[in-house]
């Protein structure tokens, strides 16, 4: 019975480690996707938010499974002292992995916010540049009209003075 519990505990821990690795891989994939999405930030923003929410849900679910596993291991510790030490080490690793995944998630969210701000700043700068160019074009067109009018008057004066 104890041996079966140990095997079940090991299998549960292995499954949790696989799920956390898979969640971390999906988080890395999401970060890559967000870097590419910066070019089309406005269109991708909602999809990114949904992906981040899914990752948060997965992390919360993994944390709940970890808490459940901790409770089960506390009961098993009464029966097996050596097992308790190994479980503590495994739990510490899982907690470190979850903290690292949470930090990557926070970093990704900050990167998304910075990308949104950069996009908005670029749009404002582009609008200002376009307005300046339009003003310059209008001024050049006015100078051209003024020059043409002067040339026409000069030609008329020259024609009027001709014998």
pLDDT top residue among 77 and 33: 33
Q: For the chain, what is the mean pLDDT?
A: 89
Tokens of 31: 């970060």
- Residue whose tokens read 């308790």: 84
Please spell the DSSP secondary structure of the chain, one letter per residue. Answer: -HHHHHHHHHHHHHHHHHHHHHHHHHHHHHHHHHHHHGGGHHHHHHHHHHHHHHHHHHHHHHHHHHHHHHHHHHHHHTT-HHHHHHHHHHHHHHHHHHHHHHHHHHHHHHHHHHHHHHHHHHHHHHHHHHHHHHHHHHHHHHHHHHHHHHHHHHHHHHHHH--
**Are the C-beta atoms of 9 and 73 separated by less than 8 Å?**
yes
Q: Dump pLDDT digits (tens) for 79-98.
A: 777 776 887 899 999 999 99
Q: Dump pLDDT digits (tens) for 111-122.
A: 999 999 999 999
What mean pLDDT is predicted for residues 43-62?
Answer: 85
**Are the C-beta atoms of 33 and 15 separated by less than 8 Å?**
no
Q: Dump pLDDT digits (tens) for 18-47.
A: 999 999 999 999 999 877 767 677 666 777
State the pTM of this model.
0.35
What mean pLDDT is predicted for residues 145-153?
Answer: 95
pLDDT top residue among 120 and 51: 120
Terminal-residue alpha carbon distance, the chain:
127
Query: Rounded to an integer, what distance in angstroms lies between the CA atom of residue 43 and that of residue 37?
Result: 8
Whether the pLDDT of residue 12 is over 80: the answer is yes
Whether the pLDDT of residue 163 is over 80: the answer is no
What mean pLDDT is predicted for residues 66-87?
Answer: 80
- Residue whose tokens read 């008329």: 156
């Amino acid at each position: 019975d104890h041996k079966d519990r140990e095997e079940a505990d090991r299998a549960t821990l292995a499954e949790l480690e696989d799920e956390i690795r898979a969640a971390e891989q999906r988080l890395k994939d999401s970060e890559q996707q967000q870097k590419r999405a910066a070019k089309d930030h406005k269109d991708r923003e909602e999809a990114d938010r949904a992906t981040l929410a899914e990752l948060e849900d997965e992390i919360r679910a993994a944390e709940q499974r970890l808490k459940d596993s901790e409770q089960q291991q506390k009961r098993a510790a009464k029966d097996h002292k050596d097992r308790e030490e190994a479980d503590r080490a495994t739990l510490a690793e899982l907690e470190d992995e979850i903290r690292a995944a949470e930090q990557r998630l926070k970093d990704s969210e900050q990167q998304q916010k910075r990308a949104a701000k950069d996009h908005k700043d670029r749009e404002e700068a582009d609008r200002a540049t376009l307005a300046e160019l339009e003003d310059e074009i209008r001024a050049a067109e006015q100078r051209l009209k003024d020059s043409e009018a002067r040339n026409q008057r000069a030609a008329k004066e020259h024609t009027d003075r001709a014998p």
